[in-house]
Amino acid sequence: MAADLTEKTDRYEGLLAEALDAATIAPPPGTPMEAAAAECREMADSYLEDGRHFRDDDDLVNALAAFSYGHAWLDAGARIGLFDVPTEGHLFTV
């Protein structure tokens, strides 16, 4: 089971990092929606950092959870139009 958890944690970290690279803020600068997008992106970045911290402490369960939550912030933002994201591929559910 530990090998499965390690592989999944690594995979989800990569997925979140790749999604962060692919997502761009969609709303015009200076608008409330742009501020909301920036906040969602900040949350995803923070969860990526947290997950890496947990993994460095050999806490794979919390690392996986953090990577998953971070990706959820991006994915939800993409679905409501806060981010321009690729519509094909494995990164987003749009």
Maximal C-alpha separation, the chain: 48
State the Cα–Cα distance between residues 2 and 46, nearest whole angstrom.
25
Question: Which pLDDT score is estimated for 94?
Answer: 81
> What's at 67, amino acid-wise?
F
What pTM did the predictor assign?
A: 0.92
State the Cα–Cα distance between residues 49 and 43, nearest whole angstrom.
10
List Cα–Cα distances, 52 to 16, 35, 60, 75, 91, in angstroms: 11, 26, 9, 20, 19
CB of 85 closer than 8 Å to CB of 71: no
pLDDT per residue over 39-80, tens digit each?
A: 999 999 999 999 999 999 999 999 999 999 999 999 999 999
In order of their start, the domains of the chain are 1-84 (1.20.1270.90)
What DSSP state is assigned to residue 28?
P
- Residues with Cβ < 8 Å from 29, sequence gap 6 or more? none
